[in-house]
């Protein structure tokens, strides 16, 4: 069987499934849509939240050397001056002299020739990717502020607050999830490159000299996280940035790339940023951001290791990874073989009839289960169609309530992947699901 990730039409199938089943819609769709902005529908938000929760659990909850933060999107302009974003967060923009197409010079095969019409392109000019806006009622230079292009800077400027309130000692990290905004020149590939997106970033502060060990630690941790959630290792690879591509302050950087339908592309970047950020903020703000080493009685500015993951790219990768088409009788069964931890619903309750007494009993089971698992209820159309609908959105288990249930107090539990069906007592639904799901 051909590897589904080399199927060029996979992206179209996923975009269509996402729209049809309420995972992802285009922003402002009834007005014709807004470029590269997307809305997560009822199922998409469940998937996205589950992915974010898994990250938070692995990075913050299960470790005692990482704490969380939720900093504001709008920050002082001085933050972006110190971080280098005002002067340097730009991409080389080229424009076609004939068709007026705009491209990122480093994204096209030849920076002089238009990939659309073959005409001559302008010389590249640096285009700052930050969205500019104004704070307060006056739209002048003094009121300029930016929508954050990354969540990381909110962490650096709170470093001192967190150290003083938690008394954490190096090595320790601060984690944050949240929206970031970039006025990208070239967009596309669905939610891969958006202008508004979400990041999950960890800044892990370490003693200089131990940084390469910690860099390796985070490469391993992040790789294993994707594998644990169901990624095929053959669809993942590290790409170490060559020295000449590194930002001047970064010691090294490796991306975790996923084999998306459009080819290998970055899903997460892991960088050793040295002490650049804290040094910059210390210099610009005048506030000392160094820490005291009890062992050597010395002060130093910590180095930082940054695993920075895109939520939307993660969602897209897990959708691609889990999408399966299986021949079934004269038809094709579409299944999202998502890890149940990521599935929008863990269980669907399907009464064989809409009528009493099945309806009341099914609703009672549904109402009890909902308190424990994210669950859904479907009583429309044939049971075969209902199984298909749940397969397509990745629900790992279906519970069918039939006429025998009234007598024997048993329901049928159907497994998404094997399609195997077993009868279990109503009283054991919850414990059976816990055992099968493993949580």
| Residue number, 260 or 366, with CB nearest to ligand ATP | 260
Q: What is the phi/psi pair of residue 35, to 5°?
A: -55, 125
- Closest approach, Cβ 178 to ligand ATP, in A, equals 12
- Closest approach, Cβ 313 to ligand ATP, in A, equals 4
Dist CA 414 CA 194 (whole Å): 38
| Residue number, 254 or 362, with CB nearest to ligand ATP | 254
- Closest approach, Cβ 88 to ligand ATP, in A, equals 12
**Burial (CB count <10 Å: 0-12, 13-18, 19+), residue 219:** middle
Q: What is the phi/psi pair of residue 6, to 5°?
A: -100, 5
Number of neighbouring beta carbons within 10 Å of residue 196? 16
| Residue number, 310 or 394, with CB nearest to ligand ATP | 310
Site residues, ligand ATP (CB under 6 A): 182, 184, 193-194, 197, 199, 266-269, 308-310, 312-313
| Residue number, 269 or 274, with CB nearest to ligand ATP | 269
| Residue number, 308 or 322, with CB nearest to ligand ATP | 308
Dist CA 270 CA 204 (whole Å): 11
- Closest approach, Cβ 301 to ligand ATP, in A, equals 22
Residue whose CB is nearest to ligand ATP in the complex, by number = 310
| Residue number, 191 or 369, with CB nearest to ligand ATP | 191
**Burial (CB count <10 Å: 0-12, 13-18, 19+), residue 416:** buried
Dist CA 111 CA 388 (whole Å): 48
Dist CA 335 CA 326 (whole Å): 8
- Closest approach, Cβ 380 to ligand ATP, in A, equals 36
- Closest approach, Cβ 36 to ligand ATP, in A, equals 8
- Closest approach, Cβ 20 to ligand ATP, in A, equals 23
State the Cα torsion 217-222-223-225 to the nearest 10°: 120
Number of neighbouring beta carbons within 10 Å of residue 145? 19
| Residue number, 177 or 308, with CB nearest to ligand ATP | 308
Tell me how far apart the 2 most distant CA atoms of the chain are, in Å: 79
């Amino acid at each position: 069987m051909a590897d589904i990730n080399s199927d060029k039409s996979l992206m179209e199938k996923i975009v269509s499934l996402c729209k049809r089943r309420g995972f992802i819609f285009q922003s402002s769709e009834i007005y014709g849509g807004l470029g590269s902005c997307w809305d997560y529908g009822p199922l998409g938000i469940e998937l996205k939240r589950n992915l974010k929760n898994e990250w938070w659990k692995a990075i913050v909850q299960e470790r005692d050397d990482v704490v969380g933060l939720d900093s504001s999107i709008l920050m002082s302009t001085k933050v972006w001056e110190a971080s280098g974003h005002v002067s340097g967060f730009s991409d080389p923009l080229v424009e076609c002299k004939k068709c007026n197409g705009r491209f990122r010079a480093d994204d096209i095969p030849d920076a002089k020739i238009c990939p659309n019409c073959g005409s001559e392109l302008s010389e590249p000019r640096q285009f700052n990717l930050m969205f500019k806006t104004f704070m307060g009622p006056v739209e002048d230079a003094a009121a300029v502020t930016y929508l954050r292009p990354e969540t990381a800077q909110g962490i650096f400027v709170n470093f001192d607050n967190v150290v003083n309130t938690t008394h954490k000692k190096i090595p320790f990290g601060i984690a944050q999830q949240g929206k970031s905004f970039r006025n990208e020149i070239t967009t596309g590939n669905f939610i891969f490159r958006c202008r508004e997106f979400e990041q999950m970033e960890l800044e892990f502060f370490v003693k200089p000299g131990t940084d390469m060990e910690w860099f390796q630690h985070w490469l391993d941790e992040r790789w294993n996280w994707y594998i644990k959630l169901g990624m095929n290792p053959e669809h993942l690879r590290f790409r170490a940035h060559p020295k000449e591509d590194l930002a001047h302050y970064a010691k090294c950087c490796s991306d975790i790339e996923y084999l998306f339908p459009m080819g290998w592309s970055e899903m997460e970047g892991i960088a050793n940023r040295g002490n650049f950020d804290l040094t910059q903020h210390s210099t610009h703000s005048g506030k000392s951001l160094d820490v005291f080493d009890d062992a050597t009685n010395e002060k130093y500015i910590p180095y930082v290791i940054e695993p920075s993951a895109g939520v939307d790219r993660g969602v897209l990768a897990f959708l691609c990874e889990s999408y399966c088409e299986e021949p079934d009788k004269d038809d094709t069964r579409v299944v999202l073989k998502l890890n149940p931890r990521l599935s929008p619903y863990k269980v669907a309750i399907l009464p064989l009839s809409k009528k009493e007494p099945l309806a009341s009993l099914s609703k009672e089971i549904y109402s009890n289960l909902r308190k424990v698992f994210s669950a859904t209820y479907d009583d429309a159309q044939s049971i075969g169609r209902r199984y298909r609908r749940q397969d397509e959105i990745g629900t790992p288990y279906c519970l069918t309530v039939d006429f025998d249930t009234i007598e024997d107090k048993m329901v049928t539990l159907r497994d998404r992947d094997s399609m195997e069906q077993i009868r279990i007592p109503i009283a054991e639904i919850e414990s059976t699901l816990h055992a099968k799901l493993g949580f």
